[in-house]
Structure 1
Amino acid sequence: MPTIYDIAKKAGFSITTVSKVLNNYPDVSEKTKKKILETIEEIGYHPNSNARSLMTKKYWTVGVVFIEDLDIGMKHPFFSAVIESFRKRVEEFGYDLLFVSRNVENQKRSYIERFKQRGVDGIIVVSPLDFNKEVKELLEHDMPSVFIDLSSKHVSVVNSDNGYGSELVVDYLYSLGHRKIAHIAADEKTFAGRERREGFEAAVKKYGLDLPEEFIVNGGYFEFEAGLEAMTKLLILKDRPTAVFAAGDMIALGAMKAIQNHGLKVPEDISVVGFDDIELAKHTTPPLTTIRQDTDLLGIQAADLLLKQIDQKKKIPLSITVPVSLVERDSTMAIDNEPKSLSK
């Protein structure tokens, strides 16, 4: 099996230079790097991970934690997209991802215990939920970490601009003539859900719109079934809304299904707007108007923050807010609120 010494000899460079290339050090010229990488490919060298860890005092592994209440894990399209972007970014710097189970040999262990046992350099935590016991333990530990969909002044966090996204929705619906706008909110236990509801309420207040208490309905943890149930409650109101803003695309899809089940049409009878812009949103009937979260940028920013902490061997309390944008599709339409003039 070829060794690092074989690479150095064949490429004509020192072992130190080869080691720098293997570990992505920046102080190596592109010409030298190209020559060494070509040699590695030619002789079929594969570094031993244990030896590499001893040499660099790194495990070259990032732990992944996903905490939520629906028991769907990474199957949720938004979070899986963020993690995929994160994976691609850290992979550029030679890191692998590690998903761990807390149940080992019928003994339930904490995430920190498992990561120490398996060996990781840092962790990414995706947690739509507030500070439960598991989240607090990860927050308080000195291991480099970055959190998505959480608010804290003590660690690195990366979030979308949820409040502004909600404001964009209300601005847009108002411009279409809608004055009776309801909100299917995510559960109050979720950081994003609270921010989106607060942004919605502030925007409605900005326009001086009436907001009956029954116009805000709980849509659970961003789930289809909760959206269907919440929309059903709105549909039986005597004075129902002309437009509905759902806190997540899966909620919005459930709402659209409920509208169709009641023999109504989207957007002719009720306009619907979501939040996330998951891949499915553009393939629904009709295609869903929504707020796009930049999952690529969320993953990249989270990766860069974590890699910086790993290099500096310490946590960095920093918050990054990623911009959002409105994607207009066919689930919304303008309505006429002007009084009809009498013909002479």
Structure 2
Amino acid sequence: MHDIARLANVSTPTVSRVLNGSSLVTAETRDRVLEVAKTHGYAVNRNAQKLRNARTNTIAVMLDFGSHRHGAIGDPFIFELLAGVSEALSIRDQDLLLSPPGLQSARDFRDFFRARGADGFIVLGQGTRDDMLRTLARESIPLVVWGAVAPDAPYCAVGSDNLEGGTLAGRHFLARQRKRWLFIGDTRHEELRLRYEGLRLAAKDREDVTIDLLPIASMAFTATAQAVTAHLDTVDRPDAVFAFSDTAAMAALGAFRASGLCAPGDLSLVGYNNIPPAAHFSPAITTIDQKTDLAGALLVEKLMQQIDGGRPTSVVLPTDIVVRET
């Protein structure tokens, strides 16, 4: 910057102001400094700039790799969320650091934050990490989570009304006079537990309805299909199925079809998330819709409030059922 200042016949602080977009510099001076910088190949070292500032202007976005077989996430819903977060961060001129390696424990997160690896964390999916997230929140590490909203959770969360989503699925089954229901999902995940509880709530006064639970440790497509196939070989076949995601619903449909069962004739099926392929699958999947178009912006807004010293509240987004062929 000293060289640019000398060549442009201005002070070094003026060069700094120009390169940082300050409005305190005249247009004529700004153009002259930028032209000199361009001619001599000067560019701002962003990493050095971050070291001088109180913030890194970097947000770490953490995916729940642990809930997927071999750490491979294939559910389009996660990438819809990620796209929304990425767009909201870019509007705020924040860098996105995607799932930096080695962050497995609360201590790892804490050390990464204190080493100024990022200004805060957006966690897409609680998975089975609720205890760790609570620990981080109690240590005042900026953190926002996409997932279930619990009244006693010390961290800020944004998520859909999972209990209502399950209830809507149950009412859908009752309207079609289905009696043997199956919920597919790992209820160790708070989001999925609430969906299961909502399903049970819809049938609480119905003695003629039975609800089975098929827990699946991995959210991967193939693992879900294999689990459903094995389940069909050991129990009475269901006439209604509520899957933890649309991707899981697609996997289940394939397993049912191989066993000679088809929706909607033999069974009713409801997925979750309303990903775009659900409407074009054959048959088109009835699903619970989440307002993912709002989620990314909300997650970023809540985190930035924390980084600025605020105490943002959690948000429960509305859910609705989208009835299609299944």
TM bucket (normalised to shorter chain) is 0.7 to 0.9
> What is the aligned partner in structure 1 of residue 160 from structure 2?
160
CA distance in 1, matches of 2:171, 2:162: 14
Distance 1:323 1:297, change over 3 A: same
Task: Give the share of equivalent positions with the same residue, in percent.
Answer: 28
Does residue 319 (structure 1) correspond to residue 314 (structure 2)? The answer is yes
Q: 1:220-250 CA distances to partner (integer Å, 9 max, x unpaired)?
A: 4434323542365357644x43221112222
> What is the aligned partner in structure 2 of residue 187 from structure 1?
186
CA distance in 1, matches of 2:317, 2:73: 21
> What is the aligned partner in structure 2 of residue 96 from structure 1?
95
Distance 1:163 1:41, change over 3 A: farther
Distance 1:55 1:166, change over 3 A: same
Shift of 1:154: 1.2
> What is the aligned partner in structure 2 of residue 173 from structure 1?
173
CA distance in 2, matches of 1:309, 1:167: 33
Q: 1:285-311 CA distances to partner (integer Å, 9 max, x unpaired)?
A: 212111122223121111100011112
TM-score by length of 1: 0.74
User: What one-letter code is carried by the residue in structure 2 that aligns with 1:168?
Assistant: L
User: What one-letter code is carried by the residue in structure 2 that aligns with 1:141?
Assistant: E
User: What one-letter code is carried by the residue in structure 1 that aligns with 2:277?
Assistant: L
> What is the aligned partner in structure 2 of residue 120 from structure 1?
118
Does residue 274 (structure 1) correspond to residue 275 (structure 2)? The answer is no
User: What one-letter code is carried by the residue in structure 1 that aligns with 2:288?
Assistant: I
Q: 1:180-238 CA distances to partner (integer Å, 9 max, x unpaired)?
A: 151323212101110000110001125x253335x332244434323542365357644
What secondary structure is seen at the aligned counterpart in 2 of 1:305? helix
Shift of 1:255: 1.4
Tell which deviates more after alignment, 39-48 or 272-281: 39-48
CA distance in 2, matches of 1:266, 1:42: 68
User: What one-letter code is carried by the residue in structure 1 that aligns with 2:171?
Assistant: D
CA distance in 2, matches of 1:115, 1:80: 24
What secondary structure is seen at the aligned counterpart in 2 of 1:120? coil
Distance 1:142 1:128, change over 3 A: closer
CA distance in 2, matches of 1:284, 1:297: 25
TM-score by length of 2: 0.78
> What is the aligned partner in structure 2 of residue 293 from structure 1?
290
> What is the aligned partner in structure 1 of residue 138 from structure 2?
140
Tell which deviates more after alignment, 41-50 or 189-198: 41-50
> What is the aligned partner in structure 1 of residue 198 from structure 2?
199
Distance 1:143 1:289, change over 3 A: same
How many residues align? The count is 305
User: What one-letter code is carried by the residue in structure 2 that aligns with 1:167?
Assistant: T
Q: Do the aligned residues in 1 keep the contact of 2:102 with 2:108 (CA within 8 Å)?
A: yes
Q: Do the aligned residues in 2 keep the contact of 1:273 with 1:290 (CA within 8 Å)?
A: yes
Shift of 1:325: 2.1
CA distance in 2, matches of 1:273, 1:3: 66
Shift of 1:279: 3.3
Tell which deviates more after alignment, 123-132 or 226-235: 226-235
Q: Do the aligned residues in 2 keep the contact of 1:274 with 1:288 (CA within 8 Å)?
A: yes
CA distance in 1, matches of 2:74, 2:18: 40
Distance 1:118 1:291, change over 3 A: same
CA distance in 1, matches of 2:253, 2:321: 19
Flag structure 1 segments of 5+ consecutive residues without an equivalent. 23-27, 104-108, 333-344
Distance 1:5 1:257, change over 3 A: farther
CA distance in 2, matches of 1:279, 1:42: 50
User: What one-letter code is carried by the residue in structure 1 that aligns with 2:120?
Assistant: G
User: What one-letter code is carried by the residue in structure 2 that aligns with 1:192?
Assistant: E
What secondary structure is seen at the aligned counterpart in 2 of 1:205? coil
What secondary structure is seen at the aligned counterpart in 1 of 2:67? coil
CA distance in 2, matches of 1:41, 1:203: 68
Shift of 1:148: 1.5
User: What one-letter code is carried by the residue in structure 1 that aligns with 2:227?
Assistant: E
> What is the aligned partner in structure 2 of residue 216 from structure 1?
213
> What is the aligned partner in structure 2 of residue 60 from structure 1?
57
Distance 1:132 1:311, change over 3 A: closer
Shift of 1:60: 0.5
Flag structure 2 segments of 5+ consecutive residues without an equivalent. none
Q: Do the aligned residues in 2 keep the contact of 1:291 with 1:325 (CA within 8 Å)?
A: yes
CA distance in 1, matches of 2:262, 2:288: 21
